[in-house]
Amino acid sequence: MGGRRFSLYDIEQFIREAGAEKITEDAVVDLEKELEKLCDTVTKQAMKYAEHAGRKKLIREEDIILTMGNDESYTSP
């Protein structure tokens, strides 16, 4: 899957909403890469939960919740 998964503008706005006044383009691009990695990790783990529940192609909200609750690399703010 090529191309951008996230809008750089939206990522910049997200950073601004977090309180940053100035943001480098590199910071926006780096956050995009990290978001992609996080989404890939969460999706793969959620898929495992879905398959365990007998759903081969359907990820539900509870699969995402289980993933986020059990991922040691994720910490809620």
Q: What pLDDT digit, counting tens, does each position of 20-56 carry?
A: 999 999 999 999 999 999 999 999 999 999 999 999 8
pLDDT interval class at 70 (50, 70, 90): low
End-to-end Cα spacing for the chain: 30
Establish if 35 belongs to a structural domain.
yes
* Predicted confidence (pLDDT) at residue 77 exceeds the cutoff of 50: no
Spell out the residues 6+ positions from residue 12 whose beta carbon is closer than 8 angstroms to its own. Answer: 23, 28
Q: Alpha carbon 29 to chain centroid distance?
A: 14
pLDDT interval class at 3 (50, 70, 90): confident
- pTM for this prediction: 0.74
Establish if 17 belongs to a structural domain.
no
When divided into structural domains, the chain yields a total of: 1
Establish if 23 belongs to a structural domain.
no
Q: Which domain holds residue 50?
A: 29-77
**Helix 25-52 × helix 61-70 angle, to 10°:** 110
Amino acid 73: pLDDT: 53
Establish if 36 belongs to a structural domain.
yes
Establish if 48 belongs to a structural domain.
yes
Establish if 54 belongs to a structural domain.
yes
Establish if 6 belongs to a structural domain.
no
